[in-house]
Each structure stands twice: as structure tokens, then as C-alpha cells.
Amino acid sequence: MTEPEAAADALLIRPARPDEAAVLAAIEDAAAVQFVRIGMDLGATASDPAMLAARAAEGSVLTASLAGRPVGFAILTTVDGNAHLAELDVAPDVQRRGIGRRLIEAVADRARAAGHSGLTLTTFRDVPWNGPWYRRLGFTELPAEAQGPALRQIRAAEARRIDPLGPRIAMIRGL
């Protein structure tokens, strides 16, 4: 077993606590810096600790921790009857160790247990750790005509705010 695999094996995925919101916001902000390095400044979409605390209080956030330290999180909502991955972030110092993949699997398990048959998300089509990465995890592009009204509304809001940075798409993975 390689060192990164051993580190991923020690990973604990659990519901986030509201008092972890500031730490989760810092992870989200640090992860956004990765986009700046490729010329995409996501500053307008900076994290919101109050929103993260509220989502954690309602049970919508899963966090990944190593040795008690939160190192990533995922926000799960429901959109058009499907489970929807609203956010996924992993701290840059522990990326490329399978933590994001493990969070996706935990989200999928939770969604399946809740009776959902699909997991949707929106992401940058071409950024290597976005569209191509999700494709490797079994997601496929969801054409506009197959999107429900709420997902189309999310995409419309992104088109105004985020799409100028790079083409975004909606994706789905069957559960």
C-alpha cells in the first residue's frame, strides 16, 4: 500500500458540525486558489461560513477528516427529485489522495439510502479536477433538455456569474 493510500484509509467521513463552518470555509477558499493558478479567479464565489453552519445544522454536509482535522467536505441537496452535489472541496495539502472520491462515494451512499436514483452536479467542463475527474467517477453530461427546472435555474444563475470563466455543464450519475 502506498503512503497516499494509507492516508486515505485513515480517513473518517461523518456529518459536519456547525462549529466547523469556519474551518470548512477556509478549505473552500484554499481550494479556490487552485483555479487562480490556471487563470480562473473565483473570488466572487467566496465561501460563506454562515451558510455552511446552517447546512451542517440541517445535516446536509459531510466532512472528511484525517487525525481529527477536517480536510474536505461535500454539500448534498435535492434538485428536481435527484440528490445534488452542491459543493465538494478538499484542502490542497491533501489533494490527490482519494479523499474527493471517498466523499463522492459517501454522498452517493447517502443519496441512495434516501431513495434517490440519481446524483447531479454542475462543474467546469474542461478543468481537469472538475468535468474530466467526475467522468472518471461515472458521471455523464446532462443535456439542457434533460435537466429539470430547478437544475436549469442553477445553470442560468451560473451562466451569469461563473460561465465567463470557462464552460460549465450539468452532470448526472445513476445510483
Question: Which tens digit of pLDDT belongs to each residue from 119-148?
Answer: 999 999 999 999 999 999 999 999 999 999
Q: Which of 86-104 are b and which e, b meaning 16 or more Cβ less than 10 Å from the residue's Cβ?
A: bbbbbbeebbebbbbebbb
Q: Is the confidence at residue 29, as pLDDT, over 50? A: yes
Q: Is the confidence at residue 45, as pLDDT, over 60? A: no
- Report pLDDT digits (tens) over 3-28: 454 455 589 999 999 999 999 999 99
Angle at 139 between CA 151 and CA 30, to 5 degrees: 80
What DSSP assignment string belongs to 107-155?
Answer: HHHHHHHTT-SEEEEEEESSSTTTHHHHHHTT-EE--GGGS-HHHHHHH
Would you place residue 1 in the very low, low, confident or very high pLDDT band (cuts 50, 70, 90)? Answer: very low
Enumerate domains of the chain plus CATH numbers. 3-174 (3.40.630.30)
- Calculate the average pLDDT of the chain: 91
- Report pLDDT digits (tens) over 71-101: 999 999 999 999 999 999 999 999 999 999 9
Which of the pair, 18 or 33, is modelled with greater confidence?
18
Distance of CA 83 to the CA centre of its chain: 12
Residue 114 phi/psi, 5-degree rounding, is -85, 0
